[in-house]
Structure 1
Amino acid sequence: MLIPMPLPLPLPILERLKLGTRARHVALESRTVLMDKDLSHTNYHQCLQRFFGYYVPLEKRMLASPAWHEIEFLYNNRNKTPQLVQDLCELGFKQHVLDALPRCNRLPELVTAAQLLGCLYVIEGATLGGQIITKHLSARLDITPESGGSFFAGYGHQTGSHWKAFGAGLTAFATQVGSDEEIISSANSTFKTLDYWLYPTQIQDNQQKDNQQDSQQQGIP
């Protein structure tokens, strides 16, 4: 009598998210200038303005989602827009200048709770990498959380515990509802739209190079 082999246990949702978004995550990180050894104040100011232009409309869309009430408890007191406003004002930007900054209009779809959680996975996960950026900002530009670096500082010493709490909530939701694929798809969409917003020129240049290589391989002059 043949004994059937047990089926492998499915990977936890956080592990699936990490694996399923790795390509987008690596691509985005490869384009950042925030960890450059010659990072300038001008570069930093420009980066903050771009993040501001993405997070402001993104968080508005999140709050307007019909499913927001289902996962709101996971984002209480975690809004990032106030930190960006605080940092930019600390660095000398007036409110009328912030009001005039361009806003991203190519955002991920955030209709369902699963889509919201996929987006929040990216937003909350960024606070972990922000701890490394915070140290670099202090060493390179003498910028601290109190002097224009609060956005990347995240939750300070509580960043790790905040991430664990979010991860536990996301895992509980995915276990109960079983919408892993939708969560992963939304996370990738968030990475993609953020990447396009932060680094449009680099992406266009890469696409042109890829198109040229494809044309050469196909023998097209």
Structure 2
Amino acid sequence: MLKILKEKTAELHKEVEGLNDAGLIMNHTISSPEYKKLLQQNLRAYSTIENYINEHSDLLPAQIKQFVSTQKSAVLRKDLAQLSEEYEATEISLKQKPSPMQLIGMLYVIEGSMLGGMMISKHLSQCPALQEIKEHHFFGGDPKVHVARWKSFCVTIEASDYSEHDINEAVLGANAAFNVFKQTYETPLVVS
């Protein structure tokens, strides 16, 4: 299932990656206001998706529930607080009741995103505008922990058999999550 999810979401995934300012970290040109904006945007997206999954977590199989958390939103809030930035994310409305497989697709997106975050984290220390920041929580942490969690997620997902309908539902959920990111990155934020 994970291979199909990756293939069927690749185009939207690539589009979303092109909309955010993470590339400015990769080429070391990000400014402090741009970094704050990126954290704010990510908080809005992760908060929306994590809270939605939490709200409907009773639909998930027991073995998947271990991956439901608000950890990513929490570390984004920590990063913003460290920058003396008070910001409360206005969540994007996800009105429909999801299927369990749609929730799994959403989890796939937010769990997988931490792998990209590990790559980005390697470049933070080379960004002149971010030198005053002592510790990055969202784009940080222990890479071994992130990799172990991702591997555990993959093993857990691949331990079950899925029908074509299940996989299509998971793709719908993953694309819904990517669309939350897309909408977030396309919505202008005031940068101070």
TM range (shorter): 0.7 to 0.9
Under a length normalisation based on structure 2, what TM-score does the superposition of the two structures give?
Answer: 0.82
2:20 matched residue in structure 1: 32
Cα distance change on mapping 1:127 and 1:162 into 2, 3 Å: same
Alignment of 1:48-197 (within 5 A): 48-65=39-56, 66-68=58-60, 70=62, 71-75=64-68, 79-93=71-85, 97-98=86-87, 101-107=88-94, 109=96, 111-140=98-127, 141-142=130-131, 147=135, 149-153=136-140, 155-173=142-160, 175=161, 179-197=166-184
SS of 2:168 mapped into structure 1? helix
Find the aligned partners of 2:158 and 2:132 in 1 and give their Cα distance. 35
SS of 1:139 mapped into structure 2? coil
Say whether the 8 Å CA contact 2:117–2:140 is kept in structure 1.
yes
1:139-182 CA-to-partner distances (Å, cap 9, x unmatched) read 112377x62x2112255322112111101111224x15661110
Say whether the 8 Å CA contact 1:108–1:189 is kept in structure 2.
no
1:66-105 CA-to-partner distances (Å, cap 9, x unmatched) read 41464312336x7212111111111112xxx33xx34132
1:41 matched residue in structure 2: 32
Under a length normalisation based on structure 1, what TM-score does the superposition of the two structures give?
Answer: 0.72
Cα distance change on mapping 1:151 and 1:181 into 2, 3 Å: same
Q: Tell me which of the two structures has the higher relative contact order, counting C-alpha pairs closer than 8 angstroms and 6 or more residues apart.
A: 2
Find the aligned partners of 1:137 and 1:107 in 2 and give their Cα distance. 33
Q: Which amino acid aligns with 1:168?
A: V
Aligned Cα root-mean-square deviation (Å) = 2.3
1:6-65 CA-to-partner distances (Å, cap 9, x unmatched) read xxxxxxx11101110000011011122222232111100011111112222322221111
Say whether the 8 Å CA contact 1:118–1:186 is kept in structure 2.
yes
Q: Percent identity?
A: 27
Q: Which amino acid aligns with 1:188?
A: N
SS of 1:151 mapped into structure 2? coil
SS of 2:138 mapped into structure 1? helix
Long gaps (5+) in structure 2: none
Find the aligned partners of 1:170 and 1:109 in 2 and give their Cα distance. 24
TM-superposed CA distance for 1:109, in Å, is 4.7
Cα distance change on mapping 1:161 and 1:183 into 2, 3 Å: same
Long gaps (5+) in structure 1: 1-12, 202-221
